[in-house]
């Protein structure tokens, strides 16, 4: 059976008509993974298990059972999700050899809906980074151009979807780690609103920012996965208590005129001129189609990257204090002088440079003498961003902005200058500071041959219109 994947709907039609089996689909992806090891997108492969699950799903269908919502959908998981009995390491030496004791809620919901987990994907260590170069497993290559990074931190997941190693993938988005790699790889990336998908079983980076996100080739495929995994969860008290309204499938694109805002400073400054021109062209097209598109001043933009890096490093320094190498994780060999020396050795050897830098930064901004100057200030900035964003959504349905100021950089280009790398997160960290949902929609191709798109952001709780607007934009994509 020859298999080529377009959408979950088409795959399900093929399954029902007997043109394909789940087993054949898994074999197809296993072959595809084995043929592209140079991408370095995968960390662990669960080949036998995936084939076994596929056969069980095929038997169900043969016995006349209805298709499950994600029947036979082949997915990968960023290496930050706990999946009981399977390795999870956050791409860090610190967790080398560690096996999850339980499954994350999102993972369990995927399994219950008939998805097949084929393996885990590479990422930046502890999800800290924007290029997928801080991984203990080495960098991931962008399948569109092997000299380029895929973006980060969920670079492996993005490339897995981009290069046809799976149908969909779960990532995590603390400050753009799903949307930015989706943008660099030319696929769809969703970060739902904070608390919409349970964080239970997701390795924590910065808990008040962390969101489970979804990669897919189309908005409708992402919506299908979203409908399955979103919603309240007794294991996560920060998960929203009210049920997540279902996104209609396929996502409707015909809608009354929308009111779009774009934030003035997002199209000035050091943005690639082709990205600016593409977005301006898109705004004109939307206005010509009868939608309102208005520029809105947003003087707070300059503060969002500093506020993000103060708050997330502070939370990270606290979250990562649990890795001491005593009960699990990397334990240094040899005989340390005392317990403190043992901790120091375990952590010095276990963590990579970027993680250490953030733990130190976070510890500094929380220290007694600097707490008010940095942490409290950044909290105040966050509050103002939240208030200002809510004000914008009184008059508008969505905000449109770039995902990144440039297309995928060359490997190694940003590693030497962490501040430049942090600054490039300017358009994505906004949604995490405000806690609102956002989607990266691939629309354009740069003259350098690389894909890029735009970002749609809606108000808290508005994932349904977010999907509709994104699907509408997706349908505008030339070709
Ligand atoms: N690049 C951002 C950071 O390094 C975002 C990471 C993320 O979303 N996990 O913090």
The one-digit pLDDT tens for each residue of the chain (479 residues) are 678 999 999 999 999 999 999 999 999 999 999 999 999 999 999 999 999 999 999 999 999 999 999 999 999 999 999 999 999 999 999 999 999 999 999 999 999 999 999 999 999 999 999 999 999 999 999 999 999 999 999 999 999 999 999 999 999 999 999 999 999 999 999 999 999 999 999 999 999 999 999 999 999 999 999 999 999 999 999 999 999 999 999 998 777 899 999 999 999 888 999 999 999 999 999 999 999 999 999 999 999 999 999 999 999 999 999 999 999 999 999 888 999 999 999 999 999 999 999 999 999 999 999 999 999 999 999 999 999 999 999 999 999 999 999 999 999 998 888 888 898 999 999 999 999 999 999 999 999 999 999 999 999 999 999 999 999 999 988 65
Asked if 439 and 465 count as a contact pair (C-beta separation under 8 A), the reply is no
> Given the structure tokens 């219109």, which residue do they identify?
465
Give the Å distance between the CA of 124 and the centre of ligand 1: 9
Handedness of CA 115, 119, 124, 127 (dihedral sign): positive
* Residue of minimum CA distance from atom 10 in ligand 1: 128
Query: Which pLDDT score is estimated for 479?
Result: 53
The SS3 call for residue 149 is: coil
Tokens of 361: 């930064």
- Which atom of ligand 1 is the closest one to the Cα of 209? 8
- Centre of ligand 1 to C-alpha 75, Å, is 22
Q: Distance between CA 84 and CA 111 in Å, rounded?
A: 12
- Ligand 1: residue of 79, 124, 125, 128 to mutate (most ligand atoms within 8 A of CB) is 128
Determine whether 177 is an active site residue: yes
Quote the tokens at residue 323.
Answer: 């890795």
Asked if 332 and 339 touch (Cβ cutoff 8 Å), the reply is: no
Distance 260 CA to ligand 1 centre (A): 27
Nearest atom (ligand 1) to Cα of 354: 4
Token match 């501040």: residue? 419
Q: Where does 67-143 have alpha helices with state H?
A: 105-112
What are the pocket residues of ligand 1 if the criterion is a CB atom closer than 6 Å to any ligand atom?
127-130, 153, 172-177, 205, 312, 425
> Cis omega (within 30 of 0) on the bond before 476?
no
Check whether the bond before 188 is cis (ω within 30° of 0): no
Confirm whether 78 is a catalytic residue: yes
Task: Write the CA distances from 333 to 224, 325, 329, integer angstroms.
Answer: 47, 11, 13
177, 198, 404, 470: the catalytic one is 177
The Å distance, Cα 425 to ligand 1 centre, comes to 8
129 CA → ligand 1 middle, Å: 5
429 CA distance to ligand 1 middle (Å): 8
The tokens for 352 are 């990579």
Find the 173 Cα to ligand 1 centroid distance in Å. 7
Pocket test for ligand 1, best of 151, 157, 177 (most atoms within 8 A of CB): 177
Gyration radius of the chain's alpha carbons: 22
Q: Are strands 74-78 and 398-402 parallel, antiparallel or unpaired?
A: unpaired
The ligand 1 atom nearest the CA atom of 309: 10
Going 46 to 75 to 421 to 460, the CA torsion angle's sign is negative
Domain 8-229 falls under CATH 3.90.1300.10: yes
Q: What pLDDT does residue 1 have?
A: 67
Nearest atom, ligand 1, residue 177 CA = 8
CA nearest ligand 1 atom 4, residue = 129
- The best mutation among 205, 212, 213 to test binding of ligand 1, ranked by most ligand atoms within 8 Å of the C-beta, falls on 205
Instruction: Please pick, among 103, 153, 169, 172, the residue that the annotation labels catalytic.
Output: 153
Instruction: Give the DSSP letter string of 53-73.
Output: HHHHHHHHHHTTPPPPTTTT-
Domain ranges of the chain: 8-229
Name the nearest CA neighbour of 195 among 182, 212, 217: 212
Angle (nearest 5°) at CA 9 between 7 and 10: 70
Atom of ligand 1 nearest to the CA of 127: 9
**Euclidean distance between CA atoms 341 and 275, whole angstroms:** 50
For residue 183, what are the CA distances in angstroms to 251, 300, 458?
21, 24, 18
- What sign does the CA torsion over 192, 198, 202, 208 have? positive
Q: What is the pLDDT of residue 330?
A: 96
Query: Which residues have CB under 8 Å from 196's CB, separation 6+?
Result: 211, 230, 231, 239, 240, 244, 437, 463
- Is residue 21 within 8 Å of residue 54, measured between CB atoms? yes
From the candidates 78, 92, 191, 470, give the one annotated as an active-site residue: 78
Of 217, 176, 195, 199, which Cα lies nearest the Cα of 457? 176
Output the CA 202–ligand 1 centroid distance in Å: 15
Measure the CA–CA gap between 104 and 402, rounded to whole angstroms. 31
Site to substitute for ligand 1 among 91, 126, 129, most atoms within 8 A of C-beta: 129
Q: Which atom of ligand 1 is nearest to the CA of 308?
A: 10
Looking at residue 351, its pLDDT comes to 98
- 300 φ/ψ angles, rounded to the nearest 5 degrees: -75, -10
176 Cα–ligand 1 center, Å? 6
Q: Which atom of ligand 1 is nearest to the CA of 428?
A: 5
> How far is it, in rounded angstroms, from Cα 319 to Cα 323?
9
Calculate the alpha carbon distances from 466 to 79, 107, 185, 219, 234 in Å: 27, 23, 21, 10, 26
């Amino acid at each position: 059976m020859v298999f080529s994947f377009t959408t979950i709907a088409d795959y399900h039609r093929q399954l029902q008509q007997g043109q394909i089996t789940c087993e054949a689909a898994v074999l197809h992806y296993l072959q595809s993974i084995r043929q592209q090891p140079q991408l370095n997108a995968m960390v662990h492969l669960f080949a036998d298990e995936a084939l076994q699950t596929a056969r069980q799903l095929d038997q169900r269908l043969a016995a006349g059972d209805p298709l499950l919502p994600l029947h036979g959908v082949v997915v990968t998981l960023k290496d930050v999700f706990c999946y009981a009995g399977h390795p999870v390491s956050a791409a860090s030496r610190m967790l080398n050899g560690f096996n999850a004791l339980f499954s994350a809620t999102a993972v369990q919901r995927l399994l219950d809906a008939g998805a097949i987990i084929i393996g885990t994907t590479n990422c930046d260590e502890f999800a800290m980074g924007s290029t997928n170069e801080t991984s203990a497993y080495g960098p991931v290559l962008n399948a569109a151009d092997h000299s380029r990074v895929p973006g980060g931190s969920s670079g492996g997941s993005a490339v897995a979807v981009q290069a046809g190693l799976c149908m969909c993938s779960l990532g995590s988005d603390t400050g753009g780690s799903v949307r930015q790699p989706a943008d660099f790889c030319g696929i769809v990336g969703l970060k739902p609103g904070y608390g919409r998908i349970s964080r239970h079983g997701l390795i924590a980076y910065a808990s008040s920012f962390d969101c489970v996100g979804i990669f897919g080739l189309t908005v409708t495929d992402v919506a299908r996965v979203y409908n399955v995994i979103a919603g309240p969860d007794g294991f996560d008290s920060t998960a929203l208590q009210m049920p997540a309204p279902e996104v209609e499938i396929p996502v409707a694109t015909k809608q009354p005129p929308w009111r779009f805002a774009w934030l003035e400073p997002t199209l000035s400054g050091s943005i690639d001129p082709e990205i600016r021109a593409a977005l301006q062209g898109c705004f004109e097209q939307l206005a010509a189609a009868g939608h309102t598109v208005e520029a809105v001043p947003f003087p707070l933009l300059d503060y969002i990257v500093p506020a993000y890096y103060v708050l997330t490093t502070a939370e990270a320094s606290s979250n990562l204090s649990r890795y001491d190498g005593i009960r699990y994780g990397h334990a240094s060999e040899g005989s340390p002088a005392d317990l403190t020396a043992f901790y120091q050795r375990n952590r010095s050897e276990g963590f990579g440079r970027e993680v250490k830098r953030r733990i130190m930064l976070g510890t500094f901004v929380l220290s007694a003498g600097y707490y008010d100057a940095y942490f409290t200030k950044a909290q105040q900035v966050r509050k103002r961003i939240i208030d200002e964003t809510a004000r914008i959504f009184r008059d508008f349905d969505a905000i449109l902005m770039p995902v990144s100021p440039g297309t995928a950089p060359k490997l190694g280009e940003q590693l030497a200058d962490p501040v430049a790398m942090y600054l490039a997160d300017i358009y994505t960290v906004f949604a995490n500071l405000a806690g609102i949902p956002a989607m990266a929609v691939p629309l354009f191709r740069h003259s350098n041959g690389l894909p890029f798109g735009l970002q749609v952001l809606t108000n808290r709780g508005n994932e349904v219109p977010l999907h509709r607007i994104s699907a509408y934009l997706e349908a505008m994509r030339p070709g």
